[in-house]
Amino acid sequence: MIELQGITKIYKMGSQTLEALRGVSLKIGKGEFISIMGPSGSGKSTLMNIVGCLDTPTGGRYFLDGKNVAGLTFDQLAAVRNRKIGFVFQNFNLLPYSTAWENIELPMLFDGKNHRKRKERVTELLQAVGLYDWREHRPSELSGGQQQRIALARSLANDPPILLADEPTGNLDSKSGQEIMDILMRLWKEGRTIVMVTHNDEIAAKSQRVIRLFDGQVVPERTA
Amino acid sequence: MNATLPRFFWNEYRKRRKKTALITFALFWGTLSILLLMSFGSGITTQFKVAFSGLGETLIMVYGGQTSLPFEGLAKGRRIQLYPEDIDYLKERIPEIGRIVPESYTYLQVSANGKEINRNIHGTTDEFSLLRTQIPQMGGRFLDADDVAQGRKVAFIGWQVAKDLFGGAEVVGREIVINRIPFTVIGVLKEKTQNSMYNGPDAEQIYLPINAYRQIDNSRRLNQIHIQPREASQSKLIESRVRTLLGRKYRFSPDDTYAVSFWNTIENAQESEAIFKGIETFLGLVGALTLLIGAVGVTNLMYAVAKERTKEIGIKLAIGARRRVIVQQFLLETLFIFAKGTFWGFVTAFNIVHLIRLIPVSYDSIGIQSYLLRPEFSLQIFLTNMVIVGILVFLSGIFPALRAAKSDPIESLRYE
């Protein structure tokens, strides 16, 4: 499903260069539930951004579904993000002026889905995360847990095979965090590939496999 | 772009339109200023034309004079005078002449209603009204062909004469006495703006059929001849032919510009039109420059909006928006703001123009008011404005939009 071969990422800041990733190779199979762990500055976020097609690597090859995405244009990557990858962020990243309903609908709008399809899917997703009654509320009127559930629902709008979660429970109390983890587990069991960045060992323990990063390199694996 | 996106953009615009109120106002103000400037410019031009037509449109006036060159053994300094025969003489020989009318006048005492005043009394023919914009008030008429042919003792008088002699009372049918001869008033001149004149405003004049006029002034001399060309473009040609023909008849050199003189309103009108077009263009330019300043403000504000929405753009890019979706959204939002601002600018300008036009203009004096109180609104002005504003808005919207779309999704997501 996801295969990285010798991925490097170098940031240039004036005369200084920063090697965020120094040759990361890894494979994530379809339907796997992977945790990525590592201290701050180890390259977790950079790796997630590259896996999520938000960023392009400086070197190396990235095969998504057997296709090398390292050489795609911005708009081609946008289409990949739109259809194949769902994002869940630590700080939710919902549009503040839009209602829960509109936030979930957005990826489908960008995909050009018609009104009927959108309506069906948004209803379905809102019911799945238990927030159908909150559909007309704006993010500021929702609790953190509710916002993250809406963000989860949005990430699933176009039914992507891969879900990327960057510390999805990081900003939540334990109860809300637990709810999010329950949903993620359910999605995994339904066959979705899930890649999650976390600091929390307890949460990482729920995944099948943990990839540890240190100084931009993968620390030799140990299966959970 | 699919049809649902614009609706989404519209919704997003509605949600934050309060934040764009300042931009909307800038556009409103810009539109209002340019429309008003253009309306006033156009109105001034039209009013000038109206005032000029108070004397007469496409009119050439011919006056006698004094020779300045010796000719065929005759010394210079001879007086050249015009006579009634010259009318037919010129008309038969110059086919380009559309209408030709004689006019004689003299300053005499006029009495009526127990009052005595001194006014210019004119003798002319019925076609004078067509050349010199003599429109009668309701219930009256100008001299007609029979009045002229039979030398009827009738008079057409200016509205000021009517006021001076009769106050506000009904005038048509009343009698006025000129040089001890009674004349019946058949019409009063309708009020008009007039900025060009030779014997004072038409409001102060009295017109008689030329054959009746001869009974109070038997000199036979014509003070001037009015000529209306068939085509305005032939006015210079007619001038030179008239000079040549009269020179042949009264024996002066066709090069002698002092023997007969001309007042060519067509030429004047062309000159003034150029001046007023210049004023109009200038006012339009001032408006456009005002609007340009507004557009710079709009650009600035749109940049600010784009900055404020950095994070939101990052989110959209992250969940799969293409760059052109972001550009489209910005451009459409600019368009919504544009539409709103210009719409209200248009409505306000339209109403101001029409309210100002309601203010009555006094015809007793030719003041600045008759020029300023008649702004005009036209489709042309509206379209010109739309084009100018449209270009400026597009230019002010496209750059912030492009910059917004170029933003890096990761950087944008981090933006707080």
Q: In DSSP terms, which residues pair with A210 in a beta bridge? A: A35, A222
Across chain A, mean pLDDT equals: 90
CA distance B301 to chain A (A): 19
Does residue A224 carry a pLDDT above 60?
A: no
pLDDT at A104: 94
Does residue A68 carry a pLDDT above 90?
A: no
**With contact defined as beta carbons under 8 Å apart, do B412 and B313 qualify?**
yes
Task: ipTM value, please give it.
Answer: 0.91
Q: Answer whether B323 sits within 8 Å of A97, measured CB to CB.
A: no
CB pairs under 8 A between A and B: 70
Q: What is the mean pLDDT of each run of 10 residues along chain B (416 residues)?
A: 71 78 83 86 81 78 92 89 93 92 93 91 91 88 92 93 88 91 93 81 92 89 92 88 92 90 84 83 82 78 80 88 86 84 90 87 65 81 83 81 82 78
The continuous run of DSSP H or E covering B288 comes out as helix B265-308
Q: Which of A141, A144, A157 is nearest to A106 (CA)?
A: A157
- Per DSSP bridges, beta strands B154-157 and B181-188 are parallel
Is B317 at the interface with chain A, CB within 8 A? yes
**Higher confidence at residue B295 or residue A143?**
A143
Q: Which residues of B touch A93 (CB under 8 A)?
A: 311, 314-315, 318, 413
Q: Rounded distance, CA A161 to CA A192, Å?
A: 5
Q: Which of B60, B53, B56, B57 is nearest to B237 (CA)?
A: B60
Which of A95, A111, A154 lies nearest to residue B312, judging by beta carbons? A95
3 state DSSP class of B102: strand
Q: Answer whether B410 sits within 8 Å of A112, measured CB to CB.
A: no
DSSP B130-173: HHTT-PBPTT-----HHHHHHT--EEEE-HHHHHHHHTTS--TT
The continuous run of DSSP H or E covering A164 comes out as strand A162-166
pLDDT at B1: 46
**Higher confidence at residue A133 or residue A112?**
A133
Does residue A156 carry a pLDDT above 90?
A: yes
Q: Which residues of A touch B316 (CB under 8 A)?
A: 95, 106, 110
Q: For A85, which residue in chain B has the nearest alpha carbon?
A: B319
Cα torsion through A73, A79, A84, A89, rounded to 10: 90
pLDDT at B367: 63
- Provide mean pLDDT across the span A103-116: 91
pLDDT at A143: 93
Share of chain A above pLDDT 70, in %: 98
Which of A98, A118, A154 lies nearest to residue B319, judging by beta carbons? A154
Determine phi and psi for B222, rounding to 5 degrees.
-100, 135
pLDDT at B30: 83
3 state DSSP class of B370: helix
Q: What Å distances lie between residue B80 and A44, B90, B223, CA to CA?
A: 108, 16, 11
Q: For B413, which residue in chain A has the nearest alpha carbon?
A: A93
Q: Rounded distance, CA B376 to CA B44, Å?
A: 9
Q: Rounded distance, CA A92 to CA B83, Å?
A: 100
CA distance B311 to chain A (A): 8
**With contact defined as beta carbons under 8 Å apart, do B385 and B347 qualify?**
no
Q: Rounded distance, CA B70 to CA A214, Å?
A: 116
Q: Answer whether A95 sits within 8 Å of B5, measured CB to CB.
A: no
What are the structural domain ranges in chain B? 17-54+269-414, 101-226
CA distance A178 to chain B (A): 25
